[in-house]
Structure 1
Amino acid sequence: MPITDPDTRVRLGRLLDAVEPLLAQLNQSLLVAREPDWTASAFRWQRRQTPFGSVGELHAIHRPATLRLEDLQNVDEQKRLVEANTRQFVRGLPANNVLLTGARGTGKSSLVKACLPTFRDEGLRLIEVDKAQLTDLPEIVECIQHRPERFIIYCDDLSFEQGEGAYKALKTVLDGSLAGQADNVLIYATSNRRHLMPEMLSENLQASHQDDGEIHPGETSEEKVSLSERFGLWIAFYPFRQDDYLAVVAHWLRHFGADEAAIGLARADALRWALERGSRSGRVAWQFARDWAGRVGLS
């Protein structure tokens, strides 16, 4: 029913004028990110929903993974490269963004996580970012670029499908925008794809060649390569040989308290375990050792 009384309309107008700035202030307060617990050594970027929209925040992880670099077996060269690059970074020296690619289960993600306990006391902090939130990377960098700690932004199992636009935000942070790169931020990413995007046979048809034989790849291929090239350090991981796999199995069995005799007896079971899964890798070795330790504990 319309309000016809002039005095009532005036009072309502004054009430709305008084409430409007309060609503704006409430809206602004709800959309302001809460200060994270900076005493933590690991964080996860998450978006919090509010009645007025979503806001991105760093959520502290108070019990991060405790994997050590010495626990990673048969990836000595990869471990040396990552450890050296991270040491340069935490000591304020030039260092590169890192892309770890290759066979599944061979230690790519574990190697990144193992850097945290190794360099935590030197100021290293780890931020886990899901691929779906890569568009928030500029916002994340803005939150941490003036902090005294050294931050590695960690993107696990990174890959893009045709048409996805999140990789553009990643490219911007890797190379820096007009604002320049933050001195205390690096990106470490793992992927099963060397160029982070699927490669199609049709892209070869886009290539052209000159009369002198020089080959020019198609624009699609150039776009894919341009993203991976922004990582200064590429580190490849390869499937384990049988002896490598058994060596990792032995390491983890010792971790769970097995003696050398028990390790020898477990060899055939370990090979059967890998055969059933169609893979010989550090992850499969760890899973077998856990299963073995559980069965021994029950018996």
Structure 2
Amino acid sequence: MLNLESLLKRFEHLLPPPHAELDWSAPAFRWRKKVALGTSVGWLEAIHQPHRIRLDDLQNVGPQKAEIERNTRQFVQGRLANNVLLTGARGTGKSSLVKAVLHQFAAEGLRLVEVDKDDLCDLADIVALLAPRPERFIVFCDDLSFEEGEGGYKALKSVLDGSVAAQSSNVLIYATSNRRHLLPEYFDENLQTRHVDGEIHPADAVEEKISLSERFGLWLRFYPFSQDEYLAAARHWLAEFGLRHWDETLEREALNWALGRGSRSGRVAWQFARDRAGRQG
């Protein structure tokens, strides 16, 4: 009898927690998966302390900020809104902008569900789980890109616009990517008179790649920071960390910091400010 009870406890440990026990008051969730008895099982994990960042903290992305705030406000108010694709230069605030709108609208019932690219095959199940809830959910896919033949590509495409089932009114998808069209593109694809890897109609292959990104109703493009924009972001974050003094020495250090990383961006400015604030206690 004891052996049977021990075996049952081990079996329960392998299973994910039931959805009925999920704390829906949490502002954010993460889709988790594990393999139990040879079967892959997914569940939502509540995140009670998500990364909190304000819209005012994001520098040099004013038009993008205004658009995503407007779209999200329409969504939480029960009006029509679009899925959003944020693309462009790394470190310019794409992911932070999504986290910031959660912080802005969480009190109005907005929730964020983070889904890893490798788990997008479960997207239809996730949406079905969220659809009966009264909250409004943003399904967040960060750093999204696909290689040829990945299953998550078709799952995302279907949920965005191509399924026979109607789209859920309380779920939107916000995705970030460094690729505008989410799939690798090749120079040969522009040569309409040549065959590309045996493809008889290469233009159709190009259309297939573009079709996924076009299913996002709102595109927001992000660009590398200029030197002045980078320095403004560094000054902002230094002030946020309690260091309001700014002089030529700090400016030179900030520029050298960016030079050492080969990039001027909001992320690099934030990292520089954290380093300086940490050194000064």
1:99 maps to a residue whose letter is L
Residue 258 (structure 1) aligned with residue 260 (structure 2):
no
Do structure 1's residue 37 and structure 2's residue 47 form an aligned pair?
no
Secondary structure at the counterpart of residue 19 of structure 2: coil
Cα separation, 1, equivalents of 2:95 and 2:71: 16
239, 250, 265: which is aligned to 1:281?
265
1:179 correspondence with 2:165: yes
Give the structure with higher Rg (CA).
1
Asked if 1:232 corresponds to 2:250, the answer is: no
- Of residues 167-176 and 190-199 in structure 1, the stretch that sits farther from structure 2 once superposed is 167-176
What residue number does 2:123 align with? 137
* Other-structure match for 1:8: none
Q: Which residue of 2 aligns with 1:292?
A: 276
Number of aligned residues: 264
Moved segments of 4+, more than 6 Å: none
Secondary structure of the corresponding residue to residue 106 of structure 2: helix
Letter in 1 for 2:278: G
2:75 corresponds to which of 89, 101, 104: 89
Question: What letter matches 1:294 in structure 2?
Answer: G
Gaps of 5+ in 2: 1-7, 195-200
Cα displacement (A) at 1:52: 5.5
1:222 aligns with 2:207: yes
Q: Displacement, 1:31?
A: 7.7
- The residue that corresponds to 1:148 in the other structure is 134
Q: Which of 95, 118, 122 lines up with 2:104 in the alignment?
A: 118
Judging changes above 3 Å, is the alpha-carbon distance between structure 1 residues 201 and 246 closer, same or farther for their aligned structure 2 residues?
same
What TM-score, normalized to structure 1?
Answer: 0.84
SS in 1 for 2:280: helix
Offset, 1:206: 3.7
Farther off after superposition, 69-78 or 198-207: 198-207
The code of the aligned residue for 2:93 comes to G
Instruction: State the AA in 1 paired with 2:236.
Output: H
Which of 216, 222, 226 is the matching residue for 1:241?
Answer: 226
Paired with 1:202 and 1:163, the residues of 2 have a C-alpha distance of 19
| AA at the equivalent of 1:232 | G
For the pair 1:104 / 2:90, whether they are aligned, the reply is yes
Distance 1:161 1:273 in 2: 34
The Cα offsets for residues 229-274 of structure 1, whole Å up to 9 and x where unpaired, read as 00000000000000000000000000111123x4543100000000
Tell me if the contact between 1:206 and 1:219 (Cα under 8 Å) persists in the aligned partners: no
Q: Which runs of 5+ in 1 are unaligned?
A: 1-22, 209-215
CA pair 39-119 structure 1, distance change in 2 beyond 3 A: same
TM-score, length-scaled by structure 2: 0.89
Structure 1 residue 111: deviation in Å? 0.1
Aligned-partner Cα distance in 2 for 1:115–1:183: 18
| Alignment match, 1:17 | none
8 Å CA contact 2:17, 2:43 repeated in 1: no
Partner of 2:189: 203
**Aligned residue among 57, 82, 88 for 2:43:** 57
Say if 1:284 and 1:154 are closer, same or farther in 2 by CA, change over 3 A: same
User: Cα RMSD (Å) of the superposition?
Assistant: 2.0
Q: Is the 8 A contact 1:154 1:189 kept in 2?
A: yes
Asked if the contact 2:85–2:175 (Cα under 8 Å) also holds between the matched residues in 1, the reply is yes
